[in-house]
Structure 1
Amino acid sequence: MLMIGLKTCDTCRKARKALAEKGIDVNYRDVRDDGLPENLIAEIMGAVGDKAVNRASTTWRGLSEEGRGRPLASLLAEHPTLLKRPAIRSDAGWTVGWTPAIQQALLG
């Protein structure tokens, strides 16, 4: 399982802890430290579409109207912290966020 997030994000910490408690091995990628390669952006966008972008984030609010109008994939490449977190690739595919439905699907 691959999880993409921020090590300082409380939601990502909760998700990592819950998955570890279930004995699920997680390969963790921090977008601030590791970036977000184009192939992963394409995979995530292909799976969840524009839900991949966190429009409630500080980064999004800091963008100009012109900046917000750019293609989302290019925004994620330039500002990887715009990614809705955590983004998780499991055998079932990609999910973004840590909603109760996602927790149920991943944790059983």
Structure 2
Amino acid sequence: MEFYGYKKCSTCRSAYKHLQEGGIELEFHDFVVSPPSALTIKSWVDVYGQGIMPFVNTKGTRYRELNLANQNLSEAMWLDLLSKDGKLLKRPVLVTDGGVVVGYDKAQYDRLIGRG
């Protein structure tokens, strides 16, 4: 599994630790240091099936700084922004063989571990 997050984010650290303690092997990608490509993000959006907005960190400082709440951006524009600024991505993003988990969803993580 691949884990995308931000090393300085306490939620990301907790989510990563939760999975590791459950015996899940992960590859950590810090998407603030190295944001995923627009093509990679698009593949997540397609698998997740709920559009681009679940991947946008609407509670983040960068979102507010750029006044993105008042913008009417297309999916292509969002993909471009997200691929250039990892702080705009909701975190963490967990990519599994069966799909994508956006945010720290303990119940889904426990199902992946086999506890649920």
Identify which range, 97-106 or 9-18, moves more after superposition. Answer: 97-106
Give the counterpart of 1:92 among 84, 95, 98.
98
Secondary structure of 1:29's counterpart equals strand
- 2 CA distance for matches of 1:73 and 1:36? 10
Instruction: Say which of 60, 81, 85 aligns to 1:75.
Output: 81
- Structure 1 contact 45–73 (Cα < 8 Å) conserved: no
Q: How does 1:20-99 map to 2 (within 5 A)?
A: 20-48=20-48, 49=51, 50-65=53-68, 68-70=71-73, 71-99=77-105
Instruction: Count residues in correspondence.
Output: 108
Q: Going by fraction, where is helix more abundant, 1 or 2?
A: 1
Q: Deviations over 1:62-89 (max 9, x none)?
A: 1135984333212202222111111000
Deviations along 1:33-63, one digit per CA (max 9) or x if unpaired, are 2222122111122233220111111111111
Partner of 2:109: 103
Q: TM-score, normalised by structure 1?
A: 0.86
Q: Which amino acid aligns with 1:82?
A: L
Q: Bigger shift: 77-86 or 63-72?
A: 63-72
Question: Cα gap change, 1:105/1:68 in structure 2, threshold over 3 Å: closer, same or farther?
Answer: farther
Please identify runs of 4+ aligned residues in structure 1 that moved more than 6 A.
none
RMSD (Å) for aligned C-alpha atoms: 1.9
Counterpart contact for 1:76–1:82, Cα < 8 Å:
yes
* Corresponding residue SS for 1:12: helix
Q: Which residue of 2 aligns with 1:14?
A: 14
Segments of structure 1 that go 5 or more residues without pairing to the other structure are none
Q: Is the 8 A contact 1:15 1:98 kept in 2?
A: yes
